């Protein structure tokens, strides 16, 4: 996969270059939209890029978030991976491993793409006014992250609840913001707190509750081999912290089975 990172400053000139190229090729600009985003279509590939945060430009047609610093150091990451393979007693030249350094460098750029995006940007445009003070709950939001102690994955589900005070956010946007926090080196406790703080900051609600359940490969694969253990973390703010009834209602909603 080839990924180009487009700096904001270069975007407008690129846009005009692409328009120019279009005259001579099959490339079509499909959706010039918000100041810094558009889709460019090729007969058999879809290019997508949004440059608000120096994002990505993906020739495979999938929308991906890429850590542009990791892209910049791709050659070094490949070299490090080759050294690592050597040092664990592998032969980097054997058939199965020949392209591994390249794949690993690509993977790091992708799984740490959250460093380039500020999660509040995901939510800002999706805030709307709402009346009433009923609790809103979004359950079972999947997350995939990497523990900062071992660089091994941890993953699971996050449940979010809040009681609005005039402002709510589009439900689809909360998983996107969580994904941005998760695509960084993390510990589950901080991930949980960051989600709660973000909602508190953007919505200023009466209260927020966030509960995360995570399965940690560093626990399952190493040492104790504690395969079945899951870590549960929670962050309660405002009325979710001060009012036992509110907290109870939230936790009870989480226990209820899915539809
Ligand atoms: Zn760990």
| Catalytic residue (one of 188, 193, 194, 213) | 188
Q: What is the pLDDT of residue 121?
A: 80
Is residue 218 annotated as a catalytic residue, yes or no? yes
| Catalytic residue (one of 90, 102, 200, 218) | 218
C-alpha distance from residue 178 to each of 2, 75, 104, 117, 171 (Å): 26, 30, 24, 11, 12
CA of 154 to the centre of ligand 1 (A): 8
Q: What is the pLDDT of residue 226?
A: 66
- Could you list the mean pLDDT of each consecutive 10-residue stretch along the chain, which spans 259 residues? 41 56 44 39 45 38 73 95 98 96 95 87 87 92 96 96 94 90 97 97 96 94 75 97 96 81
| Catalytic residue (one of 10, 148, 201, 204) | 148
Half-sphere exposure of 207 toward its Cβ, with a 13 Å CA cutoff?
22
Q: What is the pLDDT of residue 65?
A: 77
CA of 151 to the centre of ligand 1 (A): 7
Tokens of 84: 């690592």
Domain coordinates of the chain in residue numbers?
Answer: 1-64, 65-117, 121-255
**Does the domain formed by 121-255 have CATH 3.30.1130.10?**
yes
Is residue 188 annotated as a catalytic residue, yes or no? yes
| Catalytic residue (one of 68, 78, 122, 147) | 147
- What pTM does this model have? 0.75
Q: What is the pLDDT of residue 259?
A: 59
Instruction: Assign domain 65-117 to its CATH architecture.
Output: Orthogonal Bundle (1.10)
């Amino acid at each position: 996969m080839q990924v180009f990172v487009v700096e904001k400053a270069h975007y407008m000139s690129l846009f005009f270059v692409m328009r120019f190229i279009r005259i001579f090729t099959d490339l079509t600009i499909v959706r010039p939209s918000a100041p810094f985003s558009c889709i460019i279509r090729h007969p058999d590939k879809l290019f997508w890029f949004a440059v608000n945060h120096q994002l990505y430009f993906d020739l495979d047609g999938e929308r991906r978030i890429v850590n542009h610093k990791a892209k910049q150091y791709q050659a070094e990451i490949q070299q490090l991976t080759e050294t690592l393979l050597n040092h664990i007693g592998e032969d980097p030249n054997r058939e199965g491993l020949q392209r591994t350094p390249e794949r690993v460098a690509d993977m790091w750029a992708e799984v740490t793409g959250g460093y380039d995006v500020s999660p509040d940007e995901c939510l800002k445009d999706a805030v709307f006014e709402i009346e009433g003070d009923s609790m809103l709950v979004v359950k079972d939001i999947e997350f995939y992250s990497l523990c900062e102690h071992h660089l091994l994955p941890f993953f699971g589900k996050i449940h979010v609840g809040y009681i609005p005070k005039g402002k709510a956010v589009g439900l689809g946007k909360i998983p996107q913001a969580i994904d941005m926090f998760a695509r960084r080196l993390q510990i589950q406790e901080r991930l949980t707190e960051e989600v709660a703080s973000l909602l508190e900051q953007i919505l200023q609600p009466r209260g927020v509750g966030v509960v995360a359940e995570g399965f940690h490969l560093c626990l399952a694969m190493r040492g104790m081999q504690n395969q079945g253990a899951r870590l549960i973390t929670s962050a309660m703010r405002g009325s979710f912290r001060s009012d036992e009834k509110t907290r109870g209602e939230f936790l009870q909603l989480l226990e209820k089975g899915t539809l």
